[in-house]
Amino acid sequence: MNEVLKAIAERNSCRDFAGTPLTDEQIKTIINAALAAPSARNIQPWHITMVTDKKIVDEIDVEGMSILAAAEDKASYEHMMERGGKLLYNAPCLVIITNDGSHYAAIDSGILCQTIVLAAQSLGLATCIVGMAGVPLNGPRADEFRKRLKFPDSHAFCIGVLIGTGNTGKEPHEPETDRVTIIG
């Protein structure tokens, strides 16, 4: 199996990160791979914010858990508590993808996200794609976080990616071939 297919097959969602920071070389490699991601008409409607300041990552985590705890519907809070009580699973790096909301922005951001996780996987790092990062980034302190994280004015949170060394691993999910139809 070639290295790209191996990275795709072996990637899984890590929810138990060691606090080990990424190296400058790892960060540079992931960013360079991300910037090579394709987009419709090469518009690149995204912006990448790579947060490696653990204090900020932890602050975002605490804010998100606080919002979930205060919500009337406790299902998401209880789900996160069952997973260790951390929204961002102690990851040393949170990549935040924002976009301008244009026609293909969501699709292009998804492609960018997949490029980031596969680049990290190829470096032996663990990842987890986290939509839940939007809880604090769209919550009561959204404007404060937008300014501190230097989001472009016309952009909104799209998706987050956690990156780091996993404390534990797990097997990737089994492919569900019944979800495929081949015509021709």
Q: pLDDT averaged over the chain?
A: 96
Condensed to tens digits (0 to 9), the pLDDT of residues 65-89 reads 999 999 999 999 999 999 999 999 9
Q: What is the pTM of this model?
A: 0.95
What domains, with CATH codes, occur in the chain? 22-166 (3.40.109.10)
Q: What is the pLDDT of residue 16?
A: 95
Condensed to tens digits (0 to 9), the pLDDT of residues 96-136 reads 999 999 999 999 999 999 999 999 999 999 999 999 999 99
| Rounded Cα–Cα distance for residues 170 and 172 (Å) | 6
| Rounded Cα–Cα distance for residues 97 and 108 (Å) | 11
**Which has more pLDDT, 19 or 59?**
59
